[in-house]
Structures are given as structure tokens and as C-alpha cells.
């Protein structure tokens, strides 16, 4: 495993006075406005927010796929100007290369770096072993289950030893059982590699369970509404999700996001939906439930 | 082989095997119990039942076709269509055995195959890279696409007079017609494949450090391969259509010429023989392409 450089003191992400606007025929549309976030080296940070709030946009800018309209993104003081192997990315749709076997997928980053075949084969095998996938190295991705595909996706992103790992709703397409297992696997790898992680999700439980810190974004145009430290001790067990501490954090985040979701729906619910909801909620008011 | 990156987190109490055992259990095929020949044959039959059925029906259907053909010709049926002069299957078989010993017939076939080989190969060698480049570089697409769109609807046969003017020898003009016939399906399908490449895969490659050339080779090209092979299959079909037309109009030698000549010489059995030869050759060449596709794209075959 000597291929994997230590990242203990690297991977500091800074996003400063960031905004991003799309040009449309009706003029620019603000997707993300005036956002500051940072991820300390080795920290696990999640971004949650109502759908369409621009959290994926923000992540894509950190990856280097989108250029900020104002502000800048830096990693270890270096300005991000395009995608690079320093910032590994895991996608919701897995995005494994269907024409490459599991091992060839994992080898891809090393191949791009010019590592000789035998060496990168060995490195890929070791990594696949860590993820319990060595038996599948010769399979094509199509034959794998969703959970296995995403394990390959994570291993592939980690193979080049990136400073930071960016994950865009990586477990969104998985069933609840698999998702829990994947969260454990990700936590495990993160703790081994001491890599900085920026994790985008709409699943509040997932964000709390995994993170050191959670950013909550506002409705579009997205900006940071709140920054919530998660003081739960590690290693975290599934049973912690029932603890009062966890539930308190959950309640807090939930209400923040509900507020924004309602705002995003443009007051429709306030105008006409409230009464209907009250009936379904058996007399409790919407505010109580939220 | 130890590295600081893999030093355990002090709080990390999860055993190393936790990763390995987590997730869906690997599919382990149980060791096959020793089976007798009878059970093996039965199992093979069960697994391949659908395929066997298709083959059996296919054979019956071909035999029925031959039988109907035989009856129609022996009784010289006239019912809107006249079978009076149509050769019977047996007559065609007789001329087939004769032709097999005739070096001239084999030469006709070989020449047609050579024309297809050259024309089609040229079309593939030019069409596929051009499609890839047009798909990747907008300017090239903007320049070439309008011209291609105007030339594309012109059937290859309509090119015959022009081809005769353009090329000094008959042989070259026939190969040119064959080339044209297969070129456009190959180009258009390659372009289509390029336009369907999943942009997320391109981004995934960029995140792993791939640059323009590698992305082209490792993502765009393999992602387009299924469509490229569709183009090659269609192109091969059109190549035969164009070749036979060209051979009938301007040819000397070739299976199309053979068929037309048989008509002029009132050798009716040879007409059918020529037609069947064309059918078999066309079928054979598309099977070749399909086989090549399966070799090149192992991830698509199950």
C-alpha cells in the first residue's frame, strides 16, 4: 500500500465568497449565492439542503467542473481551476466504465498517471481486497449490485491517493440496508486514510451519522444557513441513531431544512395546503410536527 | 508495504475484516455434484430449450420454403405471378454443383468479395475516425456535416455514371460505389454513438486525471463502439446492395454481373443461383461483423 500517500496534513478545502449564476435568456439565474465553507484536513463535512438548493453545484465547483461566478475555491491554498486527480469524486450514478472490469476501473487513475501495469494491478488488488471485492476483479460493472458498484466507485476514487474525496449523494440510489453498510464502509476507509471528505446528501440521518460538521443550505439561491458541529463520539454505531443526542441534532437540522423546503415551494403550502395537512395530521398543526 | 496513510485511527475499533464481510455476500457457486451423462444432457437441454426451439423452427421454415418453391415451379403455377420460367430448386441445385466445378463462377464470387472487402474497409477506416473526430470537435462537425447531409440521401446506384467519369477503371468505380454505400451508415452511426456518450463518465475520467487524449481513447471510443458496430452492420448490408447494382450496370465479373448475364443468356437456373449466392455472402459478412463486435466488446456479451 505504499502507493497511497499520507494525507494527514493535507486536503484543506476553502470556498470563499462563492457564487455561481447560469446565463439564461431571461438573464442570469443565481444558483449559489455568497457561500463560505471550509473542510479542515482529515475532516468529514456534509452539505444538506432542500432539493435544488445548489449543493451539488457547489460540490461540482470544488471538483473543478464549474467555475464560480465570483469568489474562489482553493485546496491547500491552491486555486481550483479544473478537475484533477487530487480531488477524487464519487457520483450518485456510480459512473463506472462499463467496458472496463472492476479491476481496470480501479486501475484507471493509476494508468493515467503512467504507473506500469504490474504495479497498478497489484495496487488495485490490494484496494479491492479492502473493500471485499477481490472476488469480483474480473467482472464487468453491469454484473454487480448497486452497493458493490458504489464500493468500486469509492475505491476507484481513492486509488490515486487524492487529498480530498467529494461524494455527490453517493448512496441515494441504494436501498436502506445497503446504505447503512456503505456508510460503515465509507467511515472505515475515511478513518484509515485520514482524508478530507465533502459529502453532499439530502438524507439528514446520513449526514449526522457520518460527519464531523454539517452545513445546511438555504433554498435557491443556495447559501449557508447554518453550520452544525456533530459532537457524537467515534466510532459511531448504528444504535447511536436512537440516542437523545442524535435525535436532538436531527430535530434541529430537520426544522432548518423544512423551513427552507417550505420557502422553496413558494408559499403554496401556506396558501392552500395548510388546512389539508392539518386534517391528515390528526389535529396537530404543521408547526408542531415540524 | 506499510504506509502512514494506513495507520489505524486510534478510535478505530472496527476490525479490518469488517469491510471485507460487509455488503452483499459474494456469489459462491457451489461445487457441482458429479452428474451422470443423462442428467447433464437433460440440464443442457433445459438451459438451451429456447435456442433449440428457434433452430428447429428455423429449419422447418426453410424446408417449407423449398417445398413451396418446388411445388410452384413443378406445376408451373400462374396466379398473378408466373412461375412458368422460374427454375425449380432441383434445377438450381444442379447448376450449383456445376458451378462449383467452374473456376469462372468462383472467380465471380471472389471478385465480388474483394470489392466488398476493399470498399467496406476503406469506408470503415475513413468513416469511423471521421465520425469520432466530428463528434469531439464542434468545428469539424460544423464544416463536414452539411456536406455529408446533402450527399447522404443520394443512393449509391445514382453515383454509377459519376463514378465511371471519376475513376479511370471499371474496377475502381465499382469499389468506389461500394465504399459510398457503406460510408454514410458508418459515419452517421459513429456520430450518433459519440453524441450519446454519458458526460458523467467523461467527468469521472477527468477526476481520475485523464487528459483529452486519454478521454478520447478510454471513454469516447469504447462508449461509441456499440453504435459503431451498428453502423458497420448496416454499412455492410448497403455495401452489398450497392455492389450488386454497380456490377449489374457497369460490371465485368462479379456475382451481380453473373446474375445479370444469366438472364441475358436465358440461363434461368443461374439467376436463382446468383441471387442465393448474394444472400449467403451478405449473411456471412454480417455474421463476421457481429462476431468481431462480440470479440471487441466482451462487456456486452453475457
Range of the domain at B176: 89-300
- Whether residue B161 is predicted with pLDDT greater than 80 in this model: the reply is yes
Nearest-CB residue to A8 (from B4, B19, B214): B4
Residue B30: the pLDDT is: 57
Q: Residue B223 belongs to a domain with what CATH number?
A: 1.10.3720.10
Q: Does residue B93 sit within a domain?
A: yes
Query: Which chain A residue shows the shortest CA-CA distance from B8?
Result: A192
Residue A109: the pLDDT is: 95
Same domain, B153 and B185: yes
Query: Which chain B residue shows the shortest CA-CA distance from A157?
Result: B208
Residues B17, B93: Cα–Cα separation, whole Å = 70
How many C-beta atoms lie closer than 10 Å to residue A162's C-beta? 28
Q: Does residue A179 sit within a domain?
A: yes
Same domain, B101 and B215: yes
- DSSP for A30-73 reads EEEEEEEEEE-TT-EEEEE-STTSSHHHHHHHHHTSS--SEEEE
Write down how long chain A is.
290
- Whether residue A30 is predicted with pLDDT greater than 70 in this model: the reply is yes
Same domain, B48 and B69: yes
pLDDT band per the 50, 70, 90 thresholds, residue A117: very high
Write a three-state SS string for B269-292: HHHHHHHHHHHHHHHHHHHHHHHH
Q: Does residue A104 sit within a domain?
A: no
Q: Does residue A25 sit within a domain?
A: yes
Same domain, B52 and B156: no
Same domain, B81 and B95: no
pLDDT single digits (tens) A241-253: 899 999 999 999 9
Residues A261, B134: Cα–Cα separation, whole Å = 44
Q: In total, how many domains does chain A have?
A: 1
- Whether residue B26 is predicted with pLDDT greater than 80 in this model: the reply is no
pLDDT single digits (tens) B162-179: 998 999 999 999 999 999
Residues B83, B76: Cα–Cα separation, whole Å = 5
Q: Does residue B192 sit within a domain?
A: yes
For residues B148-171, give the mean pLDDT: 92
Q: Does residue B17 sit within a domain?
A: no
Q: Does residue B23 sit within a domain?
A: no
Residue A213: the pLDDT is: 96
Q: Does residue B8 sit within a domain?
A: no
Q: Does residue A1 sit within a domain?
A: no
β pairing state of A13-24 and A27-39: antiparallel
Same domain, B194 and B249: yes
- The answer to whether B226 and B193 have CB atoms below 8 angstroms apart is yes
Distance from CA of A280 to the nearest CA of B (A): 38
Domain endpoint, select from B69, B86, B103: B86
pLDDT single digits (tens) B72-104: 999 998 888 899 889 999 999 999 999 999 999
* Residue with more model confidence, B18 or A82: A82
For residues B253-280, give the mean pLDDT: 93
- Whether residue A276 is predicted with pLDDT greater than 50 in this model: the reply is no
Same domain, B75 and B93: no
Same domain, B107 and B158: yes
Residue B153: the pLDDT is: 93
Residues A93, A168: Cα–Cα separation, whole Å = 9
Domain endpoint, select from B26, B58, B86: B86
pLDDT single digits (tens) B270-279: 999 999 999 9
A7 vs B contacts (CB less than 8 Å):
5
Range of the domain at A227: 13-99+162-289
For residues B43-59, give the mean pLDDT: 92
Query: Does the beta carbon of B20 lie under 8 angstroms from any beta carbon of chain A?
Result: yes
- Whether residue A280 is predicted with pLDDT greater than 70 in this model: the reply is no
Rounded to 10 degrees, the C-alpha dihedral B214/B217/B221/B223 comes to -50
Residue B151: the pLDDT is: 94
Contact A84 B22 (CB under 8 A): no
Write a three-state SS string for B206-263: HHCCCCHHHHHHHHHHHHHHHHHHHHHHHHHHHHHHHHHHHHHHHCCCCHHHHHHHHH
Same domain, B64 and B152: no
Q: Does residue B230 sit within a domain?
A: yes
DSSP class of A222 = B
Domain endpoint, select from B86, B117, B150: B86
Same domain, B57 and B161: no
pLDDT single digits (tens) A59-112: 999 999 999 999 999 999 999 999 999 999 999 999 999 999 999 999 999 999
Residue B6: the pLDDT is: 41
pLDDT single digits (tens) B214-237: 999 999 999 999 999 999 999 999
> What percent of chain B is modeled with pLDDT above 90?
75
Same domain, B68 and B99: no
Residue B33: the pLDDT is: 62
pLDDT band per the 50, 70, 90 thresholds, residue A22: confident
Q: Does residue A24 sit within a domain?
A: yes
* Residue with more model confidence, B4 or A54: A54
Query: Which chain B residue shows the shortest CA-CA distance from A104?
Result: B218
pLDDT band per the 50, 70, 90 thresholds, residue B147: very high
Q: Residue A68 belongs to a domain with what CATH number?
A: 3.40.50.300
Residue A10: the pLDDT is: 82
Query: Does the beta carbon of B295 lie under 8 angstroms from any beta carbon of chain A?
Result: no
B273 closest CA partner among B263, B283, B264? B263
Tally C-beta pairs within 8 A across A and B. 140
- Collapsing DSSP to helix, strand or coil, A200 comes out as strand
Q: In total, how many domains does chain B have?
A: 2
- The answer to whether A132 and B23 have CB atoms below 8 angstroms apart is yes
Residue B29: the pLDDT is: 59
Q: Which residues contact B194 (CB under 8 A, 6 or more apart)?
A: B131, B132, B134, B135, B136, B220, B224
Residue B34: the pLDDT is: 67
pLDDT single digits (tens) A196-247: 999 999 999 999 999 999 999 988 888 899 999 999 998 888 888 899 999 9
Q: Does residue B47 sit within a domain?
A: yes
Residue A221: the pLDDT is: 85
Residue A274: the pLDDT is: 47
Same domain, B103 and B239: yes
Prediction ipTM score? 0.84
- DSSP for A70-119 reads EEEEEETTEEP-S--TTEEEE-TT----TTS-HHHHHHHHHHHTT--HHH
Q: Does residue A128 sit within a domain?
A: no
Amino acid at each position: 500500500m505504499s502507493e497511497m500517500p499520507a494525507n494527514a496534513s493535507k486536503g484543506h478545502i476553502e470556498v470563499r465568497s462563492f457564487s455561481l449564476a447560469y446565463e439564461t435568456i431571461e438573464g442570469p439565474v443565481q444558483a449559489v449565492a455568497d457561500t463560505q465553507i471550509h473542510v479542515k484536513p482529515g475532516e468529514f463535512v456534509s452539505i444538506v439542503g432542500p432539493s435544488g438548493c445548489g449543493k451539488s453545484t457547489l460540490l461540482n465547483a470544488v471538483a473543478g467542473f464549474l467555475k464560480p461566478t465570483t469568489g474562489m475555491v482553493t485546496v491547500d491554498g491552491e486555486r481550483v481551476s479544473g478537475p484533477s486527480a487530487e480531488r477524487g469524486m464519487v457520483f450518485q450514478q456510480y459512473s463506472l466504465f462499463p467496458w472496463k472490469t472492476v479491476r481496470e476501473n480501479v486501475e484507471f487513475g493509476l494508468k493515467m498517471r503512467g504507473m506500469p501495469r504490474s504495479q497498478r494491478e497489484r495496487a488495485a488488488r490490494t484496494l479491492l481486497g479492502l473493500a471485499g471485492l477481490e472476488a469480483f476483479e474480473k467482472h464487468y460493472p453491469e454484473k454487480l449490485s448497486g452497493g458493490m458498484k458504489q464500493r468500486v466507485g469509492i475505491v476507484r476514487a481513492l486509488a490515486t491517493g487524492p487529498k480530498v474525496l467529494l461524494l455527490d449523494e453517493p448512496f441515494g440510489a441504494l436501498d436502506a440496508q445497503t446504505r447503512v453498510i456503505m456508510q460503515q464502509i465509507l467511515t472505515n476507509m475515511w478513518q484509515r486514510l485520514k482524508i478530507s471528505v465533502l459529502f453532499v446528501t439530502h438524507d439528514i440521518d446520513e449526514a449526522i451519522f457520518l460527519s464531523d460538521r454539517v452545513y445546511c443550505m438555504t433554498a435557491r439561491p443556495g447559501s449557508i444557513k447554518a453550520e452544525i458541529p456533530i459532537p457524537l463520539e467515534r466510532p459511531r454505531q448504528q444504535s447511536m441513531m436512537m440516542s437523545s443526542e442524535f435525535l436532538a441534532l436531527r430535530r434541529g437540522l430537520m426544522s432548518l431544512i423544512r423551513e427552507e423546503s417550505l420557502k422553496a415551494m413558494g408559499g403554496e403550502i401556506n396558501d392552500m395546503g395548510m388546512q389539508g395537512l392539518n386534517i391528515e395530521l390528526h389535529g396537530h398543526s404543521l408547526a408542531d410536527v415540524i | 508495504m506499510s504506509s502512514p496513510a494506513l495507520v489505524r485511527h486510534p478510535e478505530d475499533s472496527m476490525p479490518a475484516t469488517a469491510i471485507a464481510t460487509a455488503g452483499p455476500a459474494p456469489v459462491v457457486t457451489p461445487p457441482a455434484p458429479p452428474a451422470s451423462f443423462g442428467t447433464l444432457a437433460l440440464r443442457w437441454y433445459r438451459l438451451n430449450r429456447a435456442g433449440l426451439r428457434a433452430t428447429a423452427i428455423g429449419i422447418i421454415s426453410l424446408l417449407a420454403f423449398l417445398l413451396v418453391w418446388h411445388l410452384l415451379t413443378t406445376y408451373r403455377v400462374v396466379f398473378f405471378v408466373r412461375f412458368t420460367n422460374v427454375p425449380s430448386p432441383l434445377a438450381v441445385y444442379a447448376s450449383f454443383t456445376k458451378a462449383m466445378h467452374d473456376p469462372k463462377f468462383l472467380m465471380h464470387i471472389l471478385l465480388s468479395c474483394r470489392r466488398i472487402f476493399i470498399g467496406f474497409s476503406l469506408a470503415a477506416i475513413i468513416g469511423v475516425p471521421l465520425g469520432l473526430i466530428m463528434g469531439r470537435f464542434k468545428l469539424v462537425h460544423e464544416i463536414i456535416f452539411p456536406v455529408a447531409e446533402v450527399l447522404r440521401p443520394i443512393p449509391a446506384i445514382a453515383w454509377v455514371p459519376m463514378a465511371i467519369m471519376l475513376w479511370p477503371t471499371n474496377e475502381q468505380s465499382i469499389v468506389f460505389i461500394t465504399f459510398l454505400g457503406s460510408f454514410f451508415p458508418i459515419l452517421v452511426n459513429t456520430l450518433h454513438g459519440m453524441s450519446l456518450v454519458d458526460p458523467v463518465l467523461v467527468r469521472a475520467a477527468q477526476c481520475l486525471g485523464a487528459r483529452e487524449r486519454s478521454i478520447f481513447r478510454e471513454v469516447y471510443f469504447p462508449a461509441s463502439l456499440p453504435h459503431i458496430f451498428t453502423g458497420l452492420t448496416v454499412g455492410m448490408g448497403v455495401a452489398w446492395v450497392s455492389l450488386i447494382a454497380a456490377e449489374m450496370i457497369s460490371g465485368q465479373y462479379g456475382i451481380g454481373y453473373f446474375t445479370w448475364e444469366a438472364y441475358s443468356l436465358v440461363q434461368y437456373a443461374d439467376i436463382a443461383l446468383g441471387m442465393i449466392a448474394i444472400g449467403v455472402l451478405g449473411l456471412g459478412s454480417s455474421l463476421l461483423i457481429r462476431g468481431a463486435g462480440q470479440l471487441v466488446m466482451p462487456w456486452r456479451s453475457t
